[in-house]
C-alpha cells in the first residue's frame, strides 16, 4: 500500500528590523508555517515490539498550521557593558496533532494521534549579563517562561492539558 498526500499552503513571512543606535536592535517576525506529521504518526501498523507500550499511527492526519509572532530586543550598552536580550514568542496552531492515549487495567499503554482543536504556545526569554569591574566579576541571569496548552485524549476522554515551565539560571556553567 502506498501512502501519498499533497497539500498546497501559502506561508507568508513578515519581517521588521529596527536599529535605534549602535548596540540596540529590535526585531519583529510574523510567519505562518505548517508541521507535517512525522512518518511514525501516519504509519497505520501496530508497533508492539514493546508489549507494554504499543503505538499506531493515523494515516488520516492533517498538517498542523501555525501562526507565529516573534519579537526580539538586543541591547548592549558599551559604557556600562550591560548585555540585555528579550525574546517573547506566541504561536497559535489549528488542527493540532495531539496524542490519544489509552491505558488498560494492566498498565499497557496504547498510543495514537489525531487532529483536534488548537495549540497555544507562549515562550518568553529574558537574559541579562554585566561585567562589574569594581568587583572584578561578571554575572549573567537567564530566565525562560513557557506556556503550552493543547488537547489530549486520555482513556477516551478529551482533556485540555496546560503545561507551564519556568527556568531561572544565575550563571550558566558549561
Q: Tell me the closest approach of the beta carbon of residue 37 to another protein, in angstroms.
A: 23
Q: Cβ closer to another protein: 60 or 172? A: 172
Q: Cβ closer to another protein: 43 or 114? A: 114
139 binds another protein (CB under 8 A): yes
How many C-beta atoms lie closer than 10 Å to residue 97's C-beta? 21
Q: Are 115 and 93 in contact (CB under 8 A)?
A: no
Q: Cβ closer to another protein: 43 or 116? A: 116
Contact map string, positions 24 to 63, toward another protein, x by CB under 8 A: ----------------------------------------
Q: Tell me the closest approach of the beta carbon of residue 77 to another protein, in angstroms.
A: 18
Query: In which region does residue 67 sit, left (phi positive, over 0), alpha (psi from -120 to 50) or beta (all else)?
Result: beta
137 binds another protein (CB under 8 A): yes
Secondary element (H or E) of residue 39:
helix 39-42
Q: Cβ closer to another protein: 25 or 117? A: 117
Secondary element (H or E) of residue 42:
helix 39-42
Q: Tell me the closest approach of the beta carbon of residue 102 to another protein, in angstroms.
A: 12
The string of DSSP letters for 37-69 reads PPHHHH--S-B-SSTTEEE---TTPPPEEEEEE
Amino acid at each position: 500500500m502506498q501512502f501519498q498526500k499533497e497539500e498546497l499552503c501559502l506561508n507568508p513571512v513578515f519581517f521588521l528590523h529596527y536599529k535605534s543606535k549602535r548596540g540596540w536592535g529590535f526585531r519583529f517576525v510574523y510567519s505562518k508555517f505548517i508541521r507535517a506529521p512525522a512518518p511514525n504518526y501516519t504509519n497505520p501498523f501496530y508497533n508492539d515490539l514493546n508489549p507494554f507500550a504499543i503505538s499506531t499511527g493515523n494515516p488520516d492526519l492533517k498538517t498542523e498550521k501555525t501562526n507565529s509572532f516573534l519579537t526580539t530586543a538586543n541591547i548592549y550598552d558599551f559604557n556600562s557593558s550591560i548585555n540585555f536580550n528579550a525574546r517573547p514568542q506566541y504561536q497559535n496552531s489549528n488542527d493540532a496533532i495531539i496524542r490519544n492515549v489509552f491505558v488498560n487495567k494492566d498498565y499497557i499503554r496504547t498510543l495514537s494521534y489525531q487532529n483536534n482543536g488548537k495549540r497555544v504556545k507562549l515562550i518568553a526569554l529574558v537574559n541579562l549579563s554585566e561585567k562589574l569591574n569594581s568587583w572584578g566579576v561578571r554575572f549573567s541571569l537567564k530566565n525562560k517562561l513557557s506556556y503550552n496548552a493543547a488537547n489530549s485524549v486520555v482513556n477516551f476522554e478529551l482533556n485540555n492539558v496546560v503545561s507551564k515551565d519556568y527556568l531561572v539560571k544565575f550563571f550558566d556553567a558549561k
